[in-house]
Amino acid sequence: MNDSPARLPLRTAAAVKLGNLSSTLSQKMGLGAGGMIGGRVALKLDPQALNRLTQGRRVAVVTGTNGKTTSTMMLARAVGALGEVATNHSGANMPDGHVTALSKQPDAPYAVLECDEAYFPAVAGASNPSVAVILNLSRDQLDRVGEVRTIERSLRDAINKLQNCTIVANCDDVMVTSAAWNASKVVWVATGTGWHHDSASCPRCGSPIQWQGEHWHCTGCDLARPHPNWITADEAMITPEHQKLELRLTLPGKFNQANAVMASAAAHAMGVSADEAVRRLRGVSNVSGRYRTIQRNGRSARLLLSKNPAGWSETLTVVKEANHPAVLVINAQEADGRDLSWLWDVPFERLQGRTVIASGERATDLAVRLTYAEVQHTIVPDPLKAIDQMPQGAVEVIANYTAFRDLNARAAADE
Amino acid sequence: MSESTIQIALVLPDLLGTYGDFGNAVVLEKRMTWRGIKAEIVPINYGQPVPDSCDIYVVGGGEDTAQTLAVKHLREHPGLQRAVTKNAVVLGVCAGIQIFGESFTRADNVTHPGMGLIDSTSHAGGSRAIGEVIAEPADGLFAGPLTGFENHQGRTVLGPAARPLAHVKVGTGNDGSVEGAVQGRIVCTYLHGPVLPRNPALADMLIEWATGTKVAPIDLPAVTAMRAERVKAAS
């Protein structure tokens, strides 16, 4: 199983070659990062490309609403202990992004693929994964991705079809637990994180879910929090062998500890020891520009990405410790979801008393939300100008998907 | 709790809170407290009895299973229905319009009984209606335009006892021509955004109904700017 990937059929090889050429051209002509176009060309020429490109490799697929990119990077780092790993970066997490990543490293015996939750059934079906990591499921881009229960149902069906695959699942998330409940092999991870607002009722039978501390169970069927194999403790994790390992992550926040433990459990399932996994993933510091700090005229601005209510809620907790001024950047392009109703599910009230600027293409929608949250603010649609208008010193910048992507690219160009 | 406090019941936010409709309760509360009217939000969660003593009831949107559970709960604990007979003000959004009606029929052709509060029936439409909506309030009920974001499969037909809330200019609403329903002091709409942050005149109409007094407008520049932006984007 672990030797080098099978030789590609001529059609796939040609498709991959043309695809790689498109990526290079796209980068050279400044059209894009080349993360997807190559894969798009290859998939057009050979629809089976993903299946063929994963043959002979050991594949891990990572999905969920939040933390995919970070967990994928951590897992790829950890699996690097075993050999070369092909992996998709910067959120190019649909099949064209996978084909691009795999084509660039045709000889890597391992692949770690971040996968958009809507594409999980297709990607898992095509790539015969050894490990599938299901991080969490909560409301996100309802107009594009659909409702959480629909996603849970499609993941459940896809997982039940997988053969010889270890599912690494977050048992503190009711939706994830339901999706993985009937899988033949599951490793349960207590992440200590969870957004409970989408799981008042059981995704299987509709009865109320009852919580008692960390434990939860359905009052109508047998769905209940499984006994975890891995546990996220305070800044540490407890392995199935009851070994306690300090995490000492570079990345901030409780949700990154959860990502690290999920990645360690997945790496362990791929054959990496727990200490080795943690030692390797600890160094992850800058995930496609997230968490990095940029310097602008005496301001050091930390860039944070948050895409949905659960993500924003966690990020507001991270920025809570220091009372730094905050620039909040909101777009509503197709990739963000066009409907901004979710802004009302974010507890912006926590920013009361802080210096806040509303920014982004939909700064006024955010300003309305902040007005009703009684958070004093000004509106500066351009996020770089917003940073410049803050007092000198530390500034937190929280942006949603396309807002973050564009800001990150502009900040990188300025450096 | 003093008697003069206006109580805003947030009905089943754990089941019918998928689209930020919690914001409707926040807007009602703030627009009252800013004017010196005492108001508070009373969340009523799944499993709790529904009181009949609140002044305003706000019901949000939810997914299919959640909606079925919600209607079951509201029929078993008919506090909302009793409140309606006592002249309470009710706002039903998206799932609200479907469950308040006589019945709603899903894409699987199963018909579920509604709460019978408004004269309407709903059924699954061919395609999901998703996008910005602009509509003109019917009978000059409040200052328009009505704006919001719709995301629903259902189509609704009103009977003679229910009036439309607005006439659709852009988008789908109930059926491509009218949007929402008004019957007595019950207002229903398919619009999210949420609807009351987007439409302060509608929020104030509900407040006037609940308090029985005229309220002066509040000038919120961000709201005026957002409304102008949304209308421009949809046109």
**CA-based Rg of chain A, rounded to a whole angstrom?**
21
Mutate which of A344, A345, A378 to test chain B, going by most B C-beta atoms within 10 A? A344
Binary contact (B193, A343; C-beta < 8 A): no
Give the tens place of pLDDT for each residue, A8-19.
Answer: 666 677 667 666
What is the pLDDT of chain B when averaged over all its residues?
A: 92
* Contact yes or no for B180/B142 (Cβ under 8 A): no
Residue B226 lies in a domain: yes
Q: Which residues of B53-86 are buried (b: 16+ CB within 10 A; e: fewer)?
A: ebbbbbbbbbbbbbbbbbbebbeebebbbebbee
Residue B14 lies in a domain: yes
Give the closest-approach CA distance of B30 to chain A in angstroms.
Answer: 7
Binary contact (A338, B149; C-beta < 8 A): yes
Mutate which of A148, A201, A342 to test chain B, going by most B C-beta atoms within 10 A? A201
- Tell me if residue B192 is catalytic: yes
Give me the pLDDT at residue A360, please: 98
* Structure-token pair, residue B56: 């305003």
d(C-alpha B156, C-alpha B163), whole Å = 12
Tell me whether A394 touches chain B (CB under 8 Å). no
Residue B130 CB partners (closer than 8 Å, separation 6+): A143, A338, B150, B151
CA torsion sign for A376, A378, A379, A385 is negative
* Structure-token pair, residue A215: 């434990």
Give the closest-approach CA distance of A368 to chain B in angstroms.
Answer: 5
Encoded amino acid at B65, one letter: T
Chain B's closest residue to A198, CA to CA, is B14
Residue B67 lies in a domain: yes
Give the closest-approach CA distance of A44 to chain B in angstroms.
Answer: 28
Give me the pLDDT at residue A2, please: 41
Q: What residues does A233 pair with on adjacent strands?
A: A236
Residue B201 lies in a domain: yes
Annotated binding site of A, which residues?
Answer: 202, 205, 218, 221
Residue B63 CB partners (closer than 8 Å, separation 6+): A147, A148, A149, A150, B18
Q: Which residues of B35-46 are buried (b: 16+ CB within 10 A; e: fewer)?
A: eebebebbebeb
Binary contact (A372, B65; C-beta < 8 A): no
Pairing of strands A293-296, B103-105: unpaired
Give me the pLDDT at residue B61, please: 82
Looking at the partner chain, which of B64, B192, B226 has a beta carbon nearest the beta carbon of A368? B226
- Domain of B205, CATH number, reads 3.40.50.880
Annotated binding site of A for Zn(2+), which residues?
Answer: 202, 205, 218, 221
Residue B1 lies in a domain: no
d(C-alpha A344, C-alpha B18), whole Å = 10
For residue A226, cis peptide bond before it (omega within 30 degrees of 0): no
Give me the pLDDT at residue A1, please: 39
Chain B's closest residue to A151, CA to CA, is B63
Give me the pLDDT at residue B4, please: 84
Tell me whether A243 touches chain B (CB under 8 Å). no
Give the tens place of pLDDT for each residue, B51-89.
Answer: 999 999 999 987 777 788 888 899 999 999 999 999 999
- Tell me if residue B94 is catalytic: yes
Give the closest-approach CA distance of B198 to chain A in angstroms.
Answer: 9
Question: Which stretch of DSSP H or E encloses residue A77?
Answer: helix A68-79
**Cα atoms found within 13 Å of the Cα of residue A304, Cβ hemisphere only:** 24
Mutate which of A174, A198, A357, A368 to test chain B, going by most B C-beta atoms within 10 A? A368
- Give pLDDT tens digits along chain A (415 positions): 344 455 666 667 766 766 666 665 555 544 455 566 666 666 666 668 899 999 999 999 999 999 999 999 999 999 999 999 999 976 688 888 899 999 999 999 999 999 999 999 999 999 999 999 999 998 776 655 567 888 999 999 999 999 999 999 999 999 999 999 999 999 999 998 766 777 788 889 888 888 888 899 999 999 999 999 999 998 999 999 999 999 999 998 889 999 999 999 999 999 999 999 999 999 998 888 888 899 999 999 999 999 888 889 889 988 887 789 999 999 999 888 899 999 999 999 999 999 999 999 999 999 999 999 999 999 999 999 999 999 999 999 999 999 999 999 998 887 7
Q: Which residues of B160-194 are buried (b: 16+ CB within 10 A; e: fewer)?
A: eebbbbbebbbbbbbeeebbbbbbbbbbbbbbbbb
Tell me whether A149 touches chain B (CB under 8 Å). yes
Residue B158 CB partners (closer than 8 Å, separation 6+): B118, B119, B120, B164, B174, B178, B181
Tell me whether B147 touches chain A (CB under 8 Å). no
d(C-alpha A171, C-alpha A166), whole Å = 15
Give me the pLDDT at residue B120, please: 95
Q: Which pTM was predicted?
A: 0.83
Q: What is the domain count for chain B?
A: 1
Binary contact (A343, B20; C-beta < 8 A): yes
Burial environment of residue A296 by CB neighbours within 10 A (0 to 12, 13 to 18, 19 or more): middle
For residue B201, give its domain range. Answer: 6-234
Burial environment of residue B102 by CB neighbours within 10 A (0 to 12, 13 to 18, 19 or more): middle
Active-site option among B73, B94, B152, B188: B94
* Contact yes or no for A247/A235 (Cβ under 8 A): yes
Question: Which stretch of DSSP H or E encloses residue A413?
Answer: helix A401-414
Residue B179 lies in a domain: yes
Give me the pLDDT at residue A96, please: 87
Give the closest-approach CA distance of B220 to chain A in angstroms.
Answer: 8
Active-site option among A107, A157, A275, A339: A339
Kindly list the structural domains of chain A, giving each domain's residue range(s) and its CATH number in brackets, ordered by start.
Answer: 10-281 (3.40.1190.10), 293-414 (3.90.190.20)
- Give pLDDT tens digits along chain B (235 positions): 445 899 999 999 888 877 788 899 999 999 999 999 999 999 998 888 999 999 999 999 877 777 888 888 999 999 999 999 999 999 999 877 888 999 988 878 889 889 999 999 999 888 889 999 999 999 999 999 999 999 888 999 999 999 999 999 999 999 999 999 999 999 999 999 899 999 999 999 999 999 999 999 999 999 999 999 999 998 8
